[in-house]
Amino acid sequence: MAEKIIKTKVKKIEKKPSTPKNSGDLLVKYQTHKTDTGSTEVQIVLLTKKVAELTKHLKSHKHDFDSRVGLLKMVGKRRRLLNYLKKSDETTYADLIADLKLRK
């Protein structure tokens, strides 16, 4: 009986993804390998997902100023990563902007 419990817990731990839930097809599209979370394109995709979630949170919690500061930091980091990507690889930059539906 105890062995079944241990086995089920091990299975749950193994199934946990290394990226946030609902990371979508864009993450898979821009990953160079299955566990890639460090490339510039993947970081931009992940930051965009976090920014969208935090923006939704802030619409209902208007006085959550600490989260607002975190949001501004994330947007700034994403902007810097986008600037770097534009300098290094303009075609990937243009594709990523189009896929994420960002203005610039």
Domain ranges, ordered by start, for the chain: 24-100
d(CA 2, CA 14): 19
Give CA–CA dist 53/64, Å, rounded: 14
Cα–Cα distance, 54 to 68 (Å, whole number): 8
Q: Which fold has domain 24-100?
A: Helix Hairpins (1.10.287)
Predicted pLDDT at 25: 84
Give the separation between CA 104 and CA 101, rounded to whole angstroms.
Answer: 9
Q: Tokens standing for 25?
A: 């097809």
pLDDT of residue 40: 95
Distance between CA 81 and CA 61 in Å, rounded? 28
Q: What residue ranges of the chain have pLDDT lower than 50?
A: 12-22
